[in-house]
């Protein structure tokens, strides 16, 4: 969390065009244990930035380094290893609906477990125990064998977080993880991010629509406007002027 800690996620000079520029010269760093909120108007480039960091979308230029491992320029096994360090959480939970919670969490072990075992659902006892421990951490041990589609939205998002914990990644990228949740569940999910960041030294970069929530749960707020990073400051220093820079007058 300390500002001088070596960042676990570093992005330098990232750019992406789809005809017109969508991201221009974006540089950021997230330290272990730090929760950074990414804010910006619709179309500012938040989702594109997440996709470029994982290289699901190929950036035009820029460096992406995770835990000292370069993602830019990596391919094959090297890229897979670097991606294993990134846990993804989405607005729509992205669980396998007909599988129970524990098997959804085990899917987070994919980077660690051979594919045939996943297909055959033959996970080692240690993997299963890790999955149950992750569910316990998010308060869902009692729901471990319940089908994902029978869980509430808030519970499903906590399963998605347990899946990332089981993956043992060093970075969490969460694209609007609370946009489909009511206020109470949104707060519970963001508290959980904060706690696990602190406990495990995970770096969390999380896009949020609600600035008030960002200020409450994030250590730092970074803001994109038309693909440029125009705000980068501690959450408590976020100002009205920043709000206008990002969202215009009003
Ligand atoms: N595959 C694509 N092809 C062309 N343009 C794209 C593509 N993906 C994104 N864009 C454009 O890039 C810009 C940024 O989109 P992006 O989805 O990253 O915004 P966002 O900040 O996530 O918005 P929201 O808050 O609505 O989710 C938009 O103008 C969008 O139309
Ligand atoms: Mg988006």
- CA 103/CA 135 separation, integer angstroms: 11
pLDDT of residue 1: 46
Model confidence band, residue 118 (pLDDT cutoffs 50, 70, 90): low
Q: What is the mean pLDDT of residues 14-28?
A: 97
pLDDT of residue 211: 86
Compute, in angstroms, the gap from residue 44 CA to the centroid of ligand 1: 7
- CA 176/CA 193 separation, integer angstroms: 13
Q: What is the mean pLDDT of residues 80-99?
A: 91
Give the domains, in start order, of the chain with CATH numbers: 1-85+170-250 (3.40.50.300), 97-168 (no CATH)
Check pocket membership of 42 for ligand 1, CB cut-off 6 A: yes
Check pocket membership of 72 for ligand 1, CB cut-off 6 A: no
Give per-residue pLDDT as tens, 127-179: 899 999 999 999 999 999 999 999 999 999 999 999 999 999 999 999 999 99
Kindly report the protein residue whose alpha carbon is nearest to atom 13 of ligand 1.
Answer: 43
Helix or strand or coil: residue 51? Answer: helix
- CA 97/CA 117 separation, integer angstroms: 20
pLDDT of residue 147: 96
Q: Choose the weakest-confidence range: 44-48, 111-115, 244-248.
A: 111-115
Q: What is the mean pLDDT of residues 181-206?
A: 96
Report whether pLDDT(110) > 80: no
Average pLDDT, the chain: 91
Kindly report the protein residue whose alpha carbon is nearest to atom 4 of ligand 1.
Answer: 18
């Amino acid at each position: 969390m300390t500002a001088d800690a070596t960042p676990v996620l570093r992005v330098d000079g990232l750019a992406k065009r789809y005809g017109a520029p969508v991201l221009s010269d974006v540089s950021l760093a997230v330290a272990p244990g730090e929760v950074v909120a990414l804010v910006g108007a619709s179309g500012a480039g938040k989702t594109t930035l997440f996709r470029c960091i994982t290289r699901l979308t190929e950036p035009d230029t820029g460096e992406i380094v995770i835990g000292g491992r370069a993602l830019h320029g990596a391919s094959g096994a090297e890229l897979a290893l670097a991606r294993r360090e990134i846990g993804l959480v989405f607005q729509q939970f992205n669980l396998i609906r007909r599988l129970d919670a524990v098997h959804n969490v085990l899917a987070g072990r994919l980077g660690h477990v051979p594919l045939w075992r996943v297909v055959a659902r033959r996970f080692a006892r240690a993997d299963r125990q890790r999955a149950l421990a992750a569910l316990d951490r998010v308060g869902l041990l009692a729901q471990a064998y319940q089908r994902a589609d029978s869980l509430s939205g808030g519970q499903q998002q906590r399963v998605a977080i347990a899946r990332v914990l089981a993956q043992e990644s060093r970075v969490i990228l969460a694209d609007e993880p609370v946009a489909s949740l009511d206020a109470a569940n949104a707060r519970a999910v963001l508290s959980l991010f904060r706690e696990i960041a602190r406990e495990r030294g995970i770096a969390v970069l999380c896009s949020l629509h609600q600035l008030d929530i960002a200020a409450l749960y994030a250590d730092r707020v970074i803001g994109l406007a038309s693909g440029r990073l125009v705000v980068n400051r501690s959450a408590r220093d976020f100002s009205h002027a920043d709000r206008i820079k990002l969202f215009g007058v009003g």
